[in-house]
Chains A and B, each alone.
Chain A
């Protein structure tokens, strides 16, 4: 009996320690990166003498700014496209009990199981050699959106399985046409799922190297800039940019989390 009670105490402690170690493993590089962004020497940034040189020089380094704008463009374009398509797809599959909904779901999820490298080279071949298109931001957006859409679709499915689509029926009986049903009833209930899909696909595309790399030609993005400058050693400006991105996203998450805790926004449909 005593051993059993001991086991019941120790098991969560042990598992919790594993979780803590996982976080250390996952966050250590990110923390190191933020730390180094304030250092003079990125190769051996010890001891710490904080300075903001890297941040200051970002302001007048055209290359970094261009890459940042390209990455933002790819991120936002991909997120918008992915969110729209995955929202439409998940609504179709969940709301209408059509006999093809299983097939549609499998097709929508399938890109997730195709390696990024394969998506990259196959769209490169298709765009360049079959369609004769040059590598540019729109083709990178499309290639990223193939991948992003499947993630968005899965996120929305997971959040919306419990949504009661008969609410849409009710709205329609009370005089709302389909656009108004979406605006007044569906969207207010499913926006957290759509936002989740948007944020995740934005982050995946913003930081994507392999898919974008093959579809961009000479257009620089932040990941490709980092990849390209690897052999010469990274400049502190890249660390600074990454730290800034982390800061912005982290802040956004904190704001959303606080709003949720205060009950100002409700995250996810919970029914009545």
Chain B
């Protein structure tokens, strides 16, 4: 248990009639980069604020670094935090902002200055100490906020959508850097985001949240390739959803009828013939080719017409209208498939590339 940096046990928080966090259980390990990923309103920020002590849970316990902190005010928890919009103190210059946590802890001036030197060099913001927040660029503000969160070498750093307000270019750059600082310092990071790319780039493990509970808590690769629920399958990555009726089950595979088209899918435990099944397959797992290309045994093969190609740089999205009138999206390298708009095309993939679930609410 000494390995647990943060323990969240049966935590529930209600705001009026809405349940923001619903009986959450989670252990985050020392040295781990952990992301809470979910759409807005899923309770991820509330959970982070509960760990920080800014919200008090209605029930349940929070343990940081082996010590129970439930009910303790934020100012004795000694965690670091990086806020959305950075929340730098506008009346303090960069140096005063970064040193604020040490000043509150009553650390001697000599040590404060030494640590300021260390953190500003680490984050490449040395020389900015005299500037005020409104004189900084977005990226600099971001680094100052990170420095303020890290200077006291907290047991834990909480990050609340810190990159949400940066432009795309800068965000990509910061993703890599934030990950690097986490590695160098070995401090566990708990990172809240609604952006799956951020979570996938930076994290060791990801918890996918929806409506106050965890859909899946797993290493990032598993979240991506082996989603535990239909929600995770649709939320992480870009997937096509195919909802169909189970026609036959034979061992590891099953056959479904998707609006008149027959598909092979991985079998879903506990389903019977006639049940509704949701099958998700990521766009990049599909292949597209001319309709004349020969089928491969065991693959799903659907024929249709290429409606449009959406160029995205290295890859393009190919939008195919199928015989049953629905559209599916295929991501493939640009120029690789020899197809043109309005061509008759075939889309093929191995059934195991996708994941099937018993349909929710069907």
Contact = CB atoms under 8 A, between A and B. Distances in A.
A172 to B, nearest CB: 4
A271 B148 contact: no
Interface string A251-272: 0000000000000001001111
Interface centre among B100, B104, B141 (most CB of A within 10 A): B104
Contacts of A174: 75, 80-81, 100-101, 104, 148, 152
B54 interface: yes
A175 B134 CA distance: 24
B89 A185 contact: yes
A189 B91 contact: yes
Interface centre among A164, A175, A176, A269 (most CB of B within 10 A): A175
B133 interface: yes
A272 B81 contact: no
A161 interface: no
A59 interface: no
Interface string A136-180: 000000000000000000000000000010110111111111001
B101 A175 contact: yes
Contacts of B75: 172-177
B325 interface: no
Contacts of B141: 272
B87 interface: yes
A180 B81 CA distance: 18
B71 interface: no
A188 B91 contact: yes
A260 B76 CA distance: 38
Nearest to B90: A272
Given A177-B75, A180-B104, A272 B88 contact: yes
Given A180-B104, A272-B134, A272-B141, A172 B74 contact: yes
Interface centre among B54, B87, B88, B105 (most CB of A within 10 A): B87
A167 B87 contact: yes
A176 B158 CA distance: 17
A170 B54 CA distance: 9
Contacts of A177: 73, 75
Contacts of A189: 90-91
Interface residues of B, number: 30
B54 A169 contact: yes
Given A272-B90, A272-B141, A175 B104 contact: yes
Given A166-B83, A272-B133, A272-B141, A176 B104 contact: yes
A171 B79 CA distance: 12
A181 to B, nearest CB: 8
Given A175-B75, A176-B104, A170 B83 contact: yes
Contacts of A169: 54, 74, 83, 87
B89 A167 contact: yes
A173 B100 CA distance: 11
A173 B54 contact: yes
A164 B88 CA distance: 11
A139 B100 CA distance: 44
User: For the complex, would chain A's binding face be called helix, strand, loop or mixed by DSSP majority?
Assistant: helix
Interface string B134-150: 10000001000000100
Contacts of A180: 104
Contact of B53 (A173, A184, A270, A271): A173
A182 B266 CA distance: 60
Interface in B49-92: 52-54, 73-81, 83, 85-91
Contacts of B85: 164, 166
A256 to B, nearest CB: 17
Contacts of A176: 75, 100, 104
A213 to B, nearest CB: 43
Contacts of A170: 81, 83, 87, 89
A271 B90 contact: yes
A68 B88 CA distance: 46
Interface string A177-220: 10010001100110000000000000000000000000000000
Contacts of A172: 53-54, 73-75
Interface in A225-259: none
Contact of B90 (A173, A184, A269): A269
Contact of A175 (B78, B90, B91, B133): B78
B13 to A, nearest CB: 15
Nearest to B135: A272
A170 to B, nearest CB: 4
A96 to B, nearest CB: 13
A175 B151 CA distance: 13
Contacts of A270: 90, 134
A270 B134 CA distance: 10
30 contacts: A164-B87, A167-B87, A169-B74, A170-B81, A170-B83, A171-B100, A171-B104, A173-B52, A173-B53, A173-B54, A173-B77, A173-B80, A173-B81, A174-B80, A174-B81, A174-B100, A175-B76, A175-B78, A175-B104, A175-B105, A176-B75, A176-B100, A185-B89, A188-B91, A269-B90, A271-B134, A272-B86, A272-B88, A272-B133, A272-B134
Interface of A: 164, 166-167, 169-177, 180, 184-185, 188-189, 266, 269-272
Given A169-B74, A169-B87, A272-B133, 17 more contacts: A164-B87, A170-B89, A171-B89, A172-B74, A173-B53, A173-B74, A174-B100, A174-B148, A174-B152, A175-B75, A175-B78, A177-B73, A184-B100, A270-B90, A271-B90, A272-B88, A272-B90
Enumerate the 10 nearest inter-chain pairs by beta-carbon distance, A residue then B residue, closest first: A175-B104, A174-B101, A170-B87, A172-B74, A188-B91, A173-B81, A272-B133, A173-B74, A272-B134, A176-B104
